Amino acid sequence: MIEGFDLTGRAALVTGGGTGIGKEVARLLAQRGADVMLVARRADRLEAAAREIAEETGRRVASLSCDVTDADAATAMVQEAADRLGRLDVLINNAGMSSFSALSKMAPELWDKDVRLNLNAAFYVSHAAIAHLKAHGNGAVVNVSSLAGINGTVGCGAYSAAKAGLQMFTRVAAAEWGPAGVRVNCVAPGMIATELAKRGWAKVGFDATDACKVFPLRRPGTPLEVAQAIAFLASDAASYNTGETLTVGGGPQLKGMIDAD
């Protein structure tokens, strides 16, 4: 294992861990030596993902079903995860999903739903986990935001606002918890071809291939490419990084006045 990336002896909790980016993060953390707890609402997918990763890596990989938008449920879940793993060193706040609606047509209940899942849940879980993360002096939190939280996305106003809030939560938490040895960083993925994203694109008739023509890398990203960035920020390889948001979006979408090679 390359120095700085080895997570042997550490325990990680990954929300939204049953599919997509969360599952790839869990797999990568386990490959690097961590014991992992997967958390999401659907127990069937979680259990299947945990078995798959455990068999592949030989690490202890378990699962807990939880609605992380419920503060009390999130608190109980974190305590159970810490009890079952014996400790908690890494927290990946990955649970998230976007509704599609113009702001003028968005019901307040839909706005609240997006904010609870994409912003409030990260606070609830982090708040419950912070004492455990401080216990060994080298805890790490990685929040999963989105380029929508930086640039905004028309039709995803609540999601964009919540993800922007998540980035500021990251900065403030990093400032408050850094003296106790806990780092808090954020990853902001762009257009990532998860199964959930592809279903959403199909539902609204969005052509991802065409949209990627303005990206320097000319393609959507993969869940593994986001997981690599998250695993970096969770590891000692990023031991002097905190309060940062790392974009994983295929490059800057710049306009110019001439054609360039």
Q: Which of 111, 159, 169, 232 is catalytic?
A: 159
For the chain, state the CA radius of gyration: 18
The HSE-up count of residue 232 (CA atoms within 13 Å, CB side) is 15
Specify whether 124 is catalytic: no
Cα 11 → chain centroid: 16
| Run of H or E including 181 | none
CB atoms within 10 A of CB 24: 24
DSSP bridge pairs for 140:
90, 183
- E-assigned strands of the chain? 11-15, 35-40, 61-65, 90-93, 140-144, 183-189, 245-248
Question: What are the residue numbers of the active site?
Answer: 159
